[in-house]
Amino acid sequence: MFACAASAQNEATFSLESLSETVKPETPIPVRAGLYVTQITDVNQKEENFTIVVDVRYEWSEPKLTFDAEEVGAAIRSLSTSDFVSFARESSIPSPVGTFQNLQRRSFDKLSSVFWSSEGNVIHVAETVATLQAPDFDFRQYPFDTQTFYVRLLMANPKSFFVFEDLPEYSGMGSTLGEEEWIVRDVWTEIDTSRGVTGLESSRLSLVFTADRHLIYYWTRIFVPLLLLVTVSWANLFLEEYRRRIDIAGANLLAFIAFNFAVSGDLPRLGYVTFLDALMLAMFASAAVTVAYNVMLRRMAVEHHEERAKRIDWHVTYWGFPAIHILIVLTLWRSFFG
């Protein structure tokens, strides 16, 4: 059964390749193409996708579309994209068809039209809203991460029919993207080939850009409050009354728990640990150990080992506590960025 299915698949592939060989043009038709992102409406870290508004432009030449401008009464003709596809099919005129290769949900065309001149020069323009997959996202260094975004436009026709050429003066990013969390850094285009919907190699144009985060939000909402909580834990060690220390350390531990719940909604829910996850966990463990440490000192004092407790406490308070926290941060930084 499986052998028959494999044989049938091979025959279908062979037939498709043979058909394309018989009807393909002598040389592939170059299609100058560009992608221009005007908006980034959403970056979904949990689902690893992003939504954009992108302008798509194709330019190519087709001799079969030439016409007499005086007879028609116009130098340029135009149709909506769907009407042009029907017209081209009925007239046996080959036309390039592109699709977003990393499209995750159905795209929406706000505008899509085709214009061509009497000389047969064709321009296709479209403004599209699309949610694109981003499987290459890696948030291990969150929130100091830099992510790479790909907008991949794949030709549905095999590369023996149409090949993309870049429109460098058109491709790029708008100046007002509407995305407040990310700062776009580098933008470039790439042209290569990939397996198309026909199963044959097709030309592909990719608009690639890198972006990192506005860190002021994380400093004001997470890092500075976290530093203040750690400072309170350290300041508490300068008190001489161990019982009061235990009360304050316990309250500080509860503050850590509340703080963790407050910021948890801003953290990406991932299957691996990020830098911020590890830092929060380390500081939470530190607060818990501080409570246990003060309880230990209190017990030593009750059991008449107060002098020994004071000697231990002096070393921990004046250099042990800050040294341990600095070591924690440096170790985590080296683990995630080193």
> Are 158 and 278 members of one domain?
no
**20 in a domain, yes or no?**
no
| Nearest alpha carbon to residue 242 among 293, 288, 284, 286 | 293
State the 10-residue block means of pLDDT for the chain, 338 residues long.
42 53 73 95 87 95 90 89 90 89 88 93 95 89 92 92 91 86 92 89 94 90 91 90 88 85 71 88 91 90 87 92 95 93
> Are 187 and 221 members of one domain?
no
The DSSP symbol for 103 reads B
> Are 247 and 301 members of one domain?
yes
- Per-residue model confidence (pLDDT) at position 23: 55
Q: How deeply is 71 buried, as exposed, middle or buried, from its count of CB atoms within 10 A (0-12, 13-18, 19+)?
A: exposed
> Are 197 and 54 members of one domain?
yes
**197 in a domain, yes or no?**
yes
**Number of structural domains, the chain?**
2
> Are 132 and 266 members of one domain?
no
Of 155, 190, 214, which residue is a domain's last? Answer: 214
DSSP 208-272: EEEEEE-THHHIIIIIHHHHHHHHHHHHHTT-S-HHHHHHHHHHHHHHHHHHHHHHHTTS---SS
- Per-residue model confidence (pLDDT) at position 170: 92
> Are 169 and 34 members of one domain?
yes
Any idea what the CATH number is for the domain that residue 95 is in? 2.70.170.10
Q: Are strands 29-44 and 162-166 parallel, antiparallel or unpaired?
A: parallel
- Coil, strand, or helix at residue 219? helix
> Are 50 and 79 members of one domain?
yes
CA distance 38 to 177: 6
Place of tokens 């003060």: 294
Any idea what the CATH number is for the domain that residue 257 is in? 1.20.58.390
CB 40 within 8 A of CB 129: no
**3 in a domain, yes or no?**
no
> Are 239 and 102 members of one domain?
no
Other beta carbons within 10 angstroms of residue 147's beta carbon come to 20
Of 214, 233, 267, which residue is a domain's last? Answer: 214
Q: What share of the chain is helix, strand, coil (3-state, %, to 5)?
A: 40, 30, 25
**23 in a domain, yes or no?**
no
**35 in a domain, yes or no?**
yes
CA distance 113 to 92: 19
DSSP 190-204: EEEEEE-TTSSEEEE
> Are 174 and 50 members of one domain?
yes
**275 in a domain, yes or no?**
yes
> Are 108 and 193 members of one domain?
yes
Q: Which residues pair with 209 in a beta bridge?
A: 149, 187
**169 in a domain, yes or no?**
yes
> Are 150 and 112 members of one domain?
yes
What is the domain range of residue 257? 217-337
* Type and span of the H or E element at 213: strand 201-213
**16 in a domain, yes or no?**
no
Of 151, 183, 214, which residue is a domain's last? Answer: 214
- Per-residue model confidence (pLDDT) at position 258: 84
CB 144 within 8 A of CB 174: no
> Are 151 and 40 members of one domain?
yes
- For the chain, the C-alpha Rg in angstroms (whole number) is 31
CA distance 77 to 70: 12
**pTM recorded for the entire structure:** 0.81
